[in-house]
Amino acid sequence: MQLSFHYLWEDDLDTVSVEIATILQSTMESSPLRTLRYGAIPPDEFLSWLTKGVRADLEEQKKHPRIRWIDSKIGSPDVVRWEDIVIKDDDLASLVVANGPASKSNNSRIVAHAAFMYHPPEDDAASIEVGHHGTNEKPNPLPASGNRQLQEYFNAKVEKALKEEFAGMHCFEVRELNVLGPDYLRKGIASRLLDWIIPKADKKNIPIVLAATPHGYPLYLKHGFVEIEGENRIVECDMSEWGGTGIHRHVLMIRHPTPINMGGPEP
């Protein structure tokens, strides 16, 4: 296992999309809610649906300037920006799409992906959205064997909570953070991806916000995130109402910036 950090877009989008979709598919067992939503979908069909959604999201994100250019003179920093960063295993062969173009990506495979969004000051409510791979979008409806109603219900609930708490806030948002399970979990990979955005937030003196899944929650706690205090702190789904058992919870969290030591004299 030889891990390396990359920005997206250097490889062909077909390969990238299927590799990220495969990561998402591997996270299915991380939550009973995901199993309830997607468990009945045949694996091949599920993977194609995920791949189509990932591709649509990446195409959309690509239209925006990159977060890593935020302090450069290229354009204005006061616009919505995105960054997609990935960790690859250079010892793992790529999931090359059949008949796809040969590329340097053949020699390594994406094993983790993060998508971060920058919300400029005075952002409008419409730009905080929950973007789970086009799952609600008409052009890419969930296969009929999945639980479409649950999908729409819970995504809309999380989206509403995010909007009510964070719309208009000058901040970064973690939109996606997924690691290929089970072999790549608990190896510090997600931490490495978060460690990319955290210093940028500190430098700009702005918070980072997100809706944490049950697996994400302890990770974010470790990285200085705290639960918000607003009434949307916890977004719940009573799975017994959807043929499952138990309560699923997403927790809205925020990491306040840590003042950067400017190298001045100690007090």
Ligand X SMILES: CC(C)(COP(=O)(O)OP(=O)(O)OC[C@H]1O[C@@H](n2cnc3c(N)ncnc32)[C@H](O)[C@@H]1OP(=O)(O)O)[C@@H](O)C(=O)NCCC(=O)NCCS
Q: Is 30 in the site for ligand X (CB under 6 A)?
A: yes
Q: Is 218 in the site for ligand X (CB under 6 A)?
A: yes
Contact 220, 180 (CB under 8 A): no
Q: Token pair of 210, please?
A: 């997100």
- Of 67, 179, 197, 201, the residue at the interface with ligand X (CB under 6 A) is 179
- Of 53, 131, 216, 244, the residue at the interface with ligand X (CB under 6 A) is 216
CB of 262 to ligand X, least distance (A): 29
Contact 266, 240 (CB under 8 A): no
| 114 closest CA partner among 41, 229, 6, 219 | 6
Q: Token pair of 248, please?
A: 């699923």
CB nearer to ligand X: give 16 or 210. Answer: 210
Q: What is the CA radius of gyration of the chain?
A: 19
Q: Is 85 in the site for ligand X (CB under 6 A)?
A: no
Q: Token pair of 95, please?
A: 């999931």
Q: What is the spatial distance between Cα 233 and Cα 251, in angstroms, rounded to a whole number? A: 6
CB nearer to ligand X: give 113 or 200. Answer: 113
Q: Is 188 in the site for ligand X (CB under 6 A)?
A: yes
Determine the interface stretch with ligand X among 141-149, 198-206, 211-219, 256-264 (rule: CB under 6 A). 211-219
Residue 38, H or E segment: helix 32-38
3-state helix, strand, coil split of the chain in percent (to 5) is 35, 20, 40
CB nearer to ligand X: give 12 or 132. Answer: 132
Q: Is 213 in the site for ligand X (CB under 6 A)?
A: yes
Determine the interface stretch with ligand X among 132-140, 152-160, 182-190, 236-244 (rule: CB under 6 A). 182-190
**Can you give the binding site for ligand X, defined by CB under 6 A?**
27, 30, 177-179, 185-191, 210, 212-213, 215-216, 218-219, 222
